[in-house]
Amino acid sequence: MHRCLRSRCEPCAKGRTAIAAACLGLLVNLAFTLPAWSMDTLAPVQVEGLPAARLGDLHIGSRSLIDREDIERSGARNVVEVLAREAGVNLSSFFSNAKFSGVDLRGQGETSTANVLILVDGVRLNVDQAGPDLSTLALGDIETIEVRRGAQSVTHGDGAVGGVIEIRTRRSFRTHAETTLRVASFDQQRVSLEGGTATRSADLRIGASRTLDGGFRANSAFEATNLSARAGWRALETLEFAAGVQRHQDHYGLPGFVTREQFAAPDGRRAASDPFGGGRTEELRFDAGLAWQPHTWLRLETRYAERRRTNPFSIAPAGPVPTEAERNHIGLDARQGDLRLSLNPRAGLFSPHLDLGGEWREAAVDSRRNGESVPAQSTRREVAQQTFAAFAHLRLGLGAHWLLDLGARQERTDVSDRLARFDRECTTVLVALPPLLLPLPGFPGVFVPVPVPPVPTLTGCTPFAFQPETARDAVWDNAAWQAGIAWSPQTWFAMHGRVATSFRSPNPDDLALGALDLRPQRGEEVEGGLRLGLGQRGSLELAAFASQSHDEIRFERGINRNLPGSIERRGLELSLTLTPVAGIDARLNLTQVDARFREDDTPVPLVPELAGSAAIGWELPAGQRLDFSSLFAGSRPDGAALGAARFPRVPGWHVESLAWSWRSRRLDVQAGVNNLLDATWATTAFGATYYPLMGREVYARIALALP
């Protein structure tokens, strides 16, 4: 769907500081990430021989964790707004709601929808149509969000180029119930109810939410219903089973773009170029996992998941009721399975943690355009992908201060792509005609026969049906490896380095509008970073990275193709947390990225060079709290400026928010203002046409824990 939208708008101390500065200069960059798909419900296996606190300091790679309290305090309307506050995460949105919004890691630009992998309880959201649909996630269902920046293809496979965002949903570990109501400007309401119970061996949580959003712009209304359930069962202290199901339904509008003049006018930015476009989505996700840990050094896990989705939509219909030729539909049926063996033997000074695993994924996408029965216009594209992968990942503790990381993955993807058009086959015969007699000039009464070509004559036609038009089968073999090291001489200081490779195979959306020779892209990345503890005052994390991608898949001039040459990305990521005095906490996140096409040194579209967020909070008496935050980004190249700066840059912006909250044992109240100064802002533009985001929003939220 993202591709469809775009195609229409192409027009603490001094010593510590010295050590930190010296060590940062030595970094050559390598990075690592803790394994992501172990079931979060069981206690993680720890590397023996390393103290738990030191092991935490020795993670390799740039990452951050958002917990439940962070989500509730954020005042955000959806998961995208929560993520946008993190270091290295750049917001990308079309219409202010989560339906067509996403996040970018490390300068991927428009391709972030396919180059940043998003997982929900291990289930991939990046399958059909390139972009993961984050509107299918209710904020009330989320327990934690982990952001892992940089190439993660060894541990997560295809598409983990710019990074991985892993979302874990909530489970119950006590009997409870809670209801939440949020109301806001632009006719927004959200009500949710969740509760659960738990015993020593089992737990169950159920959640439900309903969202109504009138929309900031004309024809941008959005409404959604989410239902979820998650259960767990434990036996014999060595075996655990967990399963979950989520169901999502929504209806949405597609307002299109505004012109540059409209974007500059307060009323114009709320207009719609497409007053009738829209669609609906139904999605069902299921996952189940089993973990067996008979010894502290041995763990076996397996997981199975399914995802089914239907999405009928219409872009720019002539009236409120689309004609048959204006109707489109995308269907998805995806499955995946994992098996992992973790070995954690203790060997003196050496503390190895070895993960061996295999994965299987398959997805079938059915894309129907221009209706079901419009002669010569209706098309049906069926794409099936099947992937098998194997990987090995070793984390080796060397004494109490060093951690080594090595990993490799091999992956094979089989693709079948079929395009059919609604048409008929007709047969004709050539009927001979008698010669034409023409008078011969100068000879009265004399005629000359002139041959007449045979005339094609229709003899019959088959009934209209979908006739095969093109077919393509391909097999892609991909491989990735990574190596990293971390060092922590003191509990307050750690540094790491990492090198890693990545890959991404064309997805069904890429193939639907792809060149015949479309193939996987590949890349490599080098990273280095440090973590500096400031005692009770806070912490500082800094990472530097450089990457190259080759044969990158991009949408250009109406077709997906592999770009010649390479794209280089370099950047810095800073995350600073401070507690200067009791009751006051502050946070600063900054990201600087320089992303360029190596051949002509032009910038990658839609990547700001500087972006970040800042926040400060005050703990007030009687359970009250006041929070002020700012989200900002510099200007970025227009999305249609590929290869040449033909259009003006998308203006930079800063958006401030203010919130007051009060919490008691059973009641949590929050009120605030987002976009306090009513800034005009956009993250997306193509050919000097813009997609304005929400103006000033006043909101109130109340959560009540039921007896």
Cα 681 to Cα 91: distance, rounded to the nearest angstrom: 12
Residue with tokens 């500082």: 540
Q: Which of 195, 190, 171, 170 is nearest to 180 (CA)?
A: 190
Give every CB contact of residue 289 below 8 A, 6+ residues apart in sequence: 39, 122, 241, 242, 243, 301, 302, 303, 304
Question: Which DSSP letter does residue 602 get?
Answer: P
d(CA 540, CA 533): 6
pLDDT value at residue 443: 84
Q: Beta strand pairing status for 116-120 and 163-169? A: parallel
Residue 321 has a CB neighbour count (10 Å cut-off) of 9
Q: What is the pLDDT of residues 31-70, one digit of tens each?
A: 333 333 333 333 333 333 333 334 444 678 888 899 998 9
Would you state the pLDDT for residue 239? 96
* DSSP track, 264-332: HSTTGGG--S-SS-EEEEEEEEEEEEEEEEEETTEEEEEEEEEEEEEEEEESS-SSSS--GGG-EEEEE
Report pLDDT for 646.
Answer: 79
What are the residue ranges of helices labelled H in 443-568? Answer: 508-512
For tokens 């004309």, the residue is 218
Q: What is the pLDDT of residue 47?
A: 33
Q: Which of 388, 503, 566, 541 is nearest to 117 (CA)?
A: 503
Query: What residue type is assigned to position 365 of the chain?
Result: V
For 15, the enclosing helix (H) or strand (E) is: helix 14-26
Per-residue model confidence as pLDDT tens digits over 600-649: 889 999 999 999 999 999 999 999 999 999 999 999 999 887 654 579 99
Where does 432-536 show beta strands of DSSP type E? 436-439, 447-450, 455-461, 465-490, 493-504, 521-533
On whether the CB atoms of residues 671 and 700 are closer than 8 A, the answer is yes
Smallest CA-to-CA distance from 651 within 693, 700, 703 is with 693
The Cα 550–Cα 30 span in angstroms is: 19
Count CA atoms closer than 13 A to 227's CA, side-chain side: 5
Any idea which fold 2-425+462-705 has? Maltoporin; Chain A (2.40.170)
Q: How far is CA 412 from CA 175, 505, 652, in A?
A: 45, 10, 42
At residue 327, the pLDDT reads 94
Please give the pLDDT value at position 31: 31
Distances (CA, A) of 9 to 208, 369, 657, 689: 37, 18, 31, 7
650: DSSP letter: B
Cα angle for residues 367, 96, 215 (degrees, 5° grid): 95
Residue 24: its pLDDT value, please? 36
HSE-CB of 556 using CA atoms within 13 angstroms: 15
pLDDT confidence of residue 174: 87
Region(s) of the chain under CATH 2.40.170.20: 2-425+462-705
pLDDT beneath 50: ranges in the chain = 7-57, 129-130, 644
pLDDT the model gives residue 439:
85
pTM value is 0.84
The answer to whether 673 and 657 are in contact (CB under 8 A) is: yes
**Structure-token pair, residue 551:** 């044969």
**What is the reported pLDDT for 431?**
86
